[in-house]
Each structure stands twice: as structure tokens, then as C-alpha cells.
Structure 1
């Protein structure tokens, strides 16, 4: 009898084990929770749609969204990093990337890309390069911003001028700005503002074949004659050609406000201004955008967000699956329909078609001639030096050459200490 009961018990145990195995097979891998941090509440609904789409093929990976406003975002991340508690996946931008990568806070994804034979060719080279450090890749691009030449069609029509196009060089821009400037009614051909380096003088530096920081992030480019030339040409719009409001005027009333009120005919500005120009009744009806003019070449800064994985994440496999999806063609299409330029080539048409009154193709064309946003470990330190000294040049307190010499010296000292 005892032998019989033992035999029955063994059979029951085997059956229970089999049932357990069947249940695990039906549900896939064990449940995994991925914390995903971001800072833009305007993208929250879109991110929820992405999570829902991701879970169709990955039902056992739960994604927890963590929103933190941008002005608190990196402070919170820094605190989490010191305590070993970074989110599994989180948004990263160019100015902060090197600090995190160089301090081993981020997981390199090169091996995962190789193992999955993932094609990275659909992403702009300049954007991929933004999230590479010491020959390692740490992020797949999510979206991007490029720079265009916004112009007022009404003012061009009144002056009898052709609109800017891909044939324009710097001389064409200056000539048109001179025709569009009318001191009597304080209307200017262009606004040579410097409050946003990404949208303004960084691009004239690159178009003049200069550079802001060397590719190995060890040298300043502000002793390069081409860099100085690119800054000088932009500076001359105020101090030589007198086709732009002065620096003081643009500190009192910002250049964008002047453009939105029809007092400025042209301005360099990024694709991230599209929602604002769409919302403004005057600009929505009267402005458009073209590619930037050439100096020695056509170029511009590209910047965009990347999705990174924390090096101390306990769920790296699940995190990689999510990161891979977030930069996939399917996810890019969802972003495009939500009004965000996706990084994945070939999915931007929905974004272009969403605003037919603006030539948004110009921003996609500028992505083809883009260079990564300049960064190092302590970007903010030398970026402040650049801004402060160029402001003095714009105000007439220094020449461009003098400002560049100071910037180069102090920037080199910071880079040497990194």
C-alpha cells in the first residue's frame, strides 16, 4: 500500500510540474518591469501609445512611465545615479551624454546591435555620432531637430524678391536682407541673434568649414580661421551690413517675437519652433522655411534625443527590447503622426504632411548635411564661456577675433581638465 501511495504521489508531482511548465510556456518569460524616464508631458499620450504597441509583442515586459520636468530631470538623475537607482531606460540629450557615458552610468549597446544584426543605416550619421563615446554606441536615436532659414513671404512679396531656395549662398542672403531692411519703419532683413547657439552661429561656423570642438573632444575650434570666419559673417549682419536689429534691441524684444510680428523677414531657427509658428496666426499664414544658405558648404547642427539603458539595470534584456522598439520603424511612424520628427529614415512623410503650409522637407534635407551637436564631459562650462564672450562681441565690446581668442584659451583649459 505504501509503495502504491508513493507511486501515486510521484505521478501527481510529475503532472504538476508539467502543468507549471505549460503555464510558463503560455505566458512566455517571467514578468519584467522596466522604468522609463522622460521629461516632456506633451509627449505623454504618444508614449502611452508606444507602450501599448510594444506590449502587443512583449506582454510580459511591463513599462512604467516616469515623468520629471526638464528643469528637475538631470538633477533627479544625478541623485539616482549616486544611489545606484537610475531608471532602466531614460531619455538622454547631447549636452549631458558624455558625462554619463564617461562615468560608466550607461550600458553600451554595440554587442546587442551586433547580436540582433540591427541595421542602423536608417538613422542620420550625425545623430548616431552624438551618442557615441570612445568608439562605443550608447543610444539609438528617437527623434531630431535640424535648422532652417525661416522667412516672411509677405515681406518678400512686397519687396518683389524671390523666396530663398537651395541655390542661395551667403551673398544671396545678405543681398536679400539689404533689400528687406527699412530703417524708417524698423523692419529688418534678418535677425542675427545669438541666444540659441544651436539655431544660430554654430551653423555658420560649420558652413564656413570650421568646428566648435574636435571629434576627440580634446581641442577647441575657436583658433581655426574658418571658425572665426563663420562667426564673423553672422556678426557682420549687425555691425557691417546693418540688416539686423542690434544685440541690445534683441535682448529687449527677442528675435522670435520680432519675426512673429512681421518686423524681421528672416531668421535661422530650428524645427522645434514649428508648433509655436503654427499656433501664431500671423506666422501660420505668412511664413515658410527653406534650407540654410551655403558659405563654403551647406551644413547645420543636428540634435535629438536618444534612449539609453542604465549600466546598473537589473533588466537589461528587457530594456534592450524596449529601446530597440522605440527606435523602430513602427515606433517612428507613431511619433511622426504625433508631430515629432522621427529619426528613422522613410517615416517622416506623415510629419511633413501634417503641416502642409510649411516646407518641412527643408529640415529633412538639412539632416543630410548635418553634424552632431558639439559636446564634451562638461559641455555647460565651455558653452557659457562661448556665449558670454560672443555677447560682448555682439555688443561691440570685443572684436570677433578677440572674443575667439579668449574662448579658445579658456575652453582649452576646461577640456584639458576633463
Structure 2
């Protein structure tokens, strides 16, 4: 539940190898006591040890393992063992352990990392377990497990979800005589609001909206307006497309930037939340994890709210997840599956009230998160997030494919220049053609 590289826990992981962890966990034969074997027992009735690794802080790991004590009491034949690891270079450490067949039975993962490891055949296929446990699988928010499949196989379970929306300053809206954003507000209202909330007092630009808008965020406008999405699938898209409605959305953001209603794409947003806490930012696009920080550290006099992205005609949203997966080499899948289910449900029900950073992907367990927000005096955050997660249409947050590294440079080369009016809007078609060539060559 940690924010990583600006994306919450769920986001991107730094990836560098640390031989120290491998030495601590490896260095011996693949025996029953080694990570990744399902523990120190067999089917003879002895206790099974299930090992796990997370990227969380020591404090968070303590909360997780305290919650797992109840699981062990309910399942005395299973012992859950946490293998500590520093967050730094987590991804490469795990990849090294997977390659060496020394990975723990369960490890925390992001969607990108999951699909990359699955493409290499390194992850356990939970499809048969899931098919036998339909009641449990039906408990997830609709659609959230889709991107946890690879080649038709379920290779992990989402744990926590990251949603994205608008944090706003209530006083700024009141002073401008504007209605506060809420579920169902429109793009026309959104762009009109950022205009009225912007100013140039004392020669200093005060933008009405602060955000880094990319093609995936702009795709929300296109789809809501009845146009084609930028990418046609969340995982492994077959193509990208620049539709008329997508161009319409780009033009709106482009005009807002040119008019000084929102920041240009070259603007440094590093300190935007610090400025938001000082009451200097009227609206900003952020992930929901920001709410936890505002509840804990924002000045008491700051009045703020949260709303989903606006709509043109219909609702469409973006969200992503972090969760859990297992190496292909596990020895006791039944025991590991039991632990996975508990992590995704009961564990979060115990931990989220203490650390309300993100909603659980397992819908019933997310109520603990929403209750914590209500207690903190911000029920609108939970209501907006629940609305986002129940959207009938979802779009990708970013590319989730092995060819991502080859495609992203074309976005970087064109997108900012188009938004700032330094390149014609037709440059987007050139960008799309180059990305589609990358996709074609990867097939």
C-alpha cells in the first residue's frame, strides 16, 4: 500500500538486482524448507509453511502478519512466514529469485511486473483453483481480474486498486461562485471551472487545473463522447487509434493550456500537493491514495473534496491494481491458494481501517476502507471511488505489454509538442502509426 514512483503501491517498481537477498534466501538446494516450495511439509499431514514477500515497510508488514495470525488459528496446518526485503530494487530481486527457483510462495506484484513474468512462464496458473472457487472469484469488483490473466490463464490476484480523479479546494470553488465537482459532472463544466479558477495576479500564473494529461487520460474523453479509445485493450492492445473524438479532447486540453487555464506539459508538478495543502491549487488530478495523506497531514482549515473524472455522454474510467502471485514451482498450491484468499479478503478488512490508502479489489473487503474515510469526515471520497470501480467501461492507465518500452518513446516525442502547439494535431496520427508498427512487429 506504499506509493511507488508516483503511482501508489500499485504503481511502478524500481528494478535493480540485490544479491544479498538472494544469498539470504537461497544458497541451498530446492528443499521443503526453501522459499518457493510451499513450506516444510508434504501431504503426510505435517504443517505446511507458506512463505511470502511484500514491498511494504516494516510497520505495514507487521500489520499484515498480525492479521495473518487469525488465519493461522483457523488453519493450524498452515504456517505463514514473511521473508523481509527492502523496497529498493524489489522487482529485480524477485525476478532473480524466480529465475533461481528460490522465490517465495507468494509475492506482491504490480500489473506490469505480473504480465512480464507470466510471459516468461515463471508464474503459477491459478485457473483451475479459480474455477473451483467461483463464489470467491465473483466477489471481486467486476472486471478487475481481467488484467491478471495472461494467455487465458489466471496468473495472480489483484489486492488493492488505484483509482484516479480530481481533488479540489472547496473554498476556491465557493469564492468563484462555482458548484463543486460531483459524480456525473461534465467536461463542459470541468473546462469552464478551470477557466474561472485560473488567474494571473501579480504576473504569476495560477492555473485552475494541475495535471499531467497523457493519451490514456485523454482517451476517457474520447470514449465518453462515443469515440474510439486510444488503445483498444487494457492488456496487449492490438492497435492504437486517433479518432475524431480523441482529437476533440486533445483540442480542449490544448486550448486550456494555451489560455493559461491549466499547466503546460513541461510544468514541474513535483510540489503540487504541497501547494494544494497551502490552498494554492484549485484542482489537481491525483490517485486516491492522496486522500490518506491529506486526512493525516493537511491543515485543519483546508476544505477539500474528491470527484471522479467528468463525462461527455457516458461513464468510463481508468484504474490499476497491485496484488499477489506465485512462482510456477510451488509445491503446495492448495495451501497457497488459501493464504491468497485470506490476504485478499480478511487481511485487508483488518489492515485498511488503520491505513486507508486504497480500496480492496475484493468488493466486500473494500467496505473497511470506505468506513475509514467516513470516519475521517470524507465520505465523498469513498462514494466517488466506489462509483469509479463500478464503471461499465474501463480504459488502460498505460500500456501493459512486452513492447511498451519501444512504444512509449513515440508518445514522448510527439505528445507534449502537440499539446503546446509546437506540432500540428496530425502529428498524433504519425505517432499512432509508429506505435502500431511496434505492435505489429511484436506479434
How far off its partner does 1:35 sit?
Answer: 1.8
- What is residue 357 of structure 1 aligned with on the other side? 377
Equivalent position to 1:177, from 172, 175, 194: 194
**2:55 counterpart of 1:36:** no
Equivalent position to 1:95, from 112, 129, 140: 112
- What is residue 418 of structure 2 aligned with on the other side? 393
Deviations 1:163-185, CA, capped at 9 Å, x for gaps = 11224110011111111111125
Higher gyration radius (CA): 1
1:11-410 equivalent positions in 2, closer than 5 A: 29-41=45-57, 43-185=60-202, 186-194=205-213, 200-201=217-218, 203-204=220-221, 206-208=223-225, 209-215=227-233, 217-239=236-258, 241-248=259-266, 250-251=267-268, 254-282=271-299, 285-328=302-345, 330-338=346-354, 339=356, 340-355=358-373, 356-358=376-378, 359-360=380-381, 361-369=383-391, 370-373=394-397, 374-410=399-435
How far off its partner does 1:232 sit?
Answer: 3.8
Find the aligned partners of 1:350 and 1:212 in 2 and give their Cα distance: 35
* Contact 1:33–1:64 (CA under 8 A) maintained in structure 2: yes
Find the aligned partners of 2:89 and 2:270 in 1 and give their Cα distance: 28
Deviations 1:316-347, CA, capped at 9 Å, x for gaps = 2221111122223x233123313142122233
Consecutive unaligned residues in structure 2, runs of 5 or more: 1-42
Report the more deviating stretch, 406-415 or 132-141. Answer: 406-415
RMSD: 2.8
- What is residue 3 of structure 1 aligned with on the other side? none
Total equivalences in the alignment: 387
- What is the DSSP-based 3-state SS (H/G/I as helix, E as strand, rest coil) of the residue aligned with 1:146? strand
- What is the DSSP-based 3-state SS (H/G/I as helix, E as strand, rest coil) of the residue aligned with 2:268? helix
Deviations 1:356-414, CA, capped at 9 Å, x for gaps = 33322211111111445441124344345434532333444334441452254135315
Consecutive unaligned residues in structure 1, runs of 5 or more: 1-26
- What is the DSSP-based 3-state SS (H/G/I as helix, E as strand, rest coil) of the residue aligned with 2:167? strand
Length-normalised TM-score, structure 2: 0.78
Larger helix proportion of the pair? 1
- What is residue 8 of structure 1 aligned with on the other side? none
**2:442 counterpart of 1:417:** yes
How far off its partner does 1:112 sit?
Answer: 0.5
Would the alpha carbon gap of residues 131 and 284 (structure 1) be closer, same or farther in structure 2, given more than 3 Å must change?
A: farther
Deviations 1:197-235, CA, capped at 9 Å, x for gaps = 87x546445545443433362423243444444444333
- What is residue 10 of structure 2 aligned with on the other side? none
